[in-house]
Structure 1
Amino acid sequence: MKISFVYCSIAGKIGGGIVLLLCLLLTVSCAEKKETDTRMLEVIAVHDSVMPKMGQLGQLISQLKPLADSTASGQPYQDAIGNLEQANKAMMDWMQGFGDRFDYAEIQEGKTLSAQKSEWLDEELGKVRKMAKSMNESIAQAEALLKKNGSQE
């Protein structure tokens, strides 16, 4: 009887320890998933903040082209067009690269990422921020030039 009681007591403590360990592992796993979800949402939010401006890039290029020529006075307009075109390319390249690295379930459904993809997500956050900055700065530059020239509505 005494051995049985001791065995049950030890088994109960071990079982309790295992349950505690499992709870701890689940908590850590959920925290990692939440961090990944948060980073993915941030990447998508940055993209979504500048995606609607893609049409504006083309409109600004159209407004700048008549003002750009090969003279020194046309150079700022040529530079602005080049920056807008580069921003457009940066968006297209980023979307292509991001889509090559992550699938729909990872992007839209919160599918758990591998360790490699989690590292990639950190890289993509830096890339998307750089791309958004490029877009916003090129738009601001073009608008300032057009305003200075009196060409913008």
Structure 2
Amino acid sequence: MKKYILVLIAIATYTLTSCKEEKKGPAQPTQMQQVMAIHDEVMPKMGELGKLVSTLKPMIDSTKTGMQYEKAMIDLQNANKSMMDWMQGFGSKFDSDEILNGKELSAEKQNLLNTEETQIKEVANKINTSIANAEAMLKK
């Protein structure tokens, strides 16, 4: 009889401990968090865009070099506009609970988020590229 009780206790203990969720490593960021991380990475560079535009503007003239400065300035301005347009569009498509609190997205909003992820990557590329090009031009 004692054997049966010990076996039942062992089975019950095994069953209870095996049903617990396994602890996993740190949670993977959601797609929304990844999109916001890209935004947060390039947003601080917006001030740099403005400074570079201010530096380039007086250097523009009708010479070949002056026109190159103008192109670099326009690229910076376009990158800035892209970020502003993206933020406005993103904010109109998602509410704060979806952005900040991880509220589950509908299938339609998930499709929108997929598109927004692609767009913010393009915006980040424009910002980084335009800054790098302007800085390289100014070092010449």
Shift of 1:73: 2.2
1:106 and 2:98 matched = yes
| Amino-acid identity (%) | 54
SS in 2 for 1:75: helix
What runs of 5+ residues in structure 2 fail to find an aligned partner? 1-26
RMSD (Å), alpha carbons: 1.3
Q: Give, in whole Å, the separation in 2 of the partners of 1:98 and 1:65.
A: 31
Q: Deviations over 1:28-83 (max 9, x none)?
A: xxxxxx88x61101100000000000000010011111211122221110000000
- Give the structure with the larger helix fraction: 1
SS in 1 for 2:30: helix
Choose the corresponding residue for 2:139, options 133, 136, 147: 147
Q: Give, in whole Å, the separation in 2 of the partners of 1:40 and 1:133.
A: 19
Q: TM-score, normalised by structure 2?
A: 0.78
Q: Which residue does the alignment assign to 1:90? A: 82
1:134 and 2:126 matched = yes
Q: Which amino acid aligns with 1:99?
A: G
Q: Which residue does the alignment assign to 1:41? A: 33
Q: Which residue does the alignment assign to 2:5? A: none
Q: Give, in whole Å, the separation in 1 of the partners of 2:61 and 2:106.
A: 51
Q: Which residue does the alignment assign to 2:108? A: 116
Choose the corresponding residue for 1:59, options 47, 51, 74: 51
Q: Deviating runs (4+, > 6 A) in structure 1? A: none
Q: TM-score, normalised by structure 1?
A: 0.72
Q: Give, in whole Å, the separation in 1 of the partners of 2:62 and 2:45.
A: 28
What runs of 5+ residues in structure 1 fail to find an aligned partner? 1-33, 149-153
Choose the corresponding residue for 1:71, options 36, 57, 63: 63
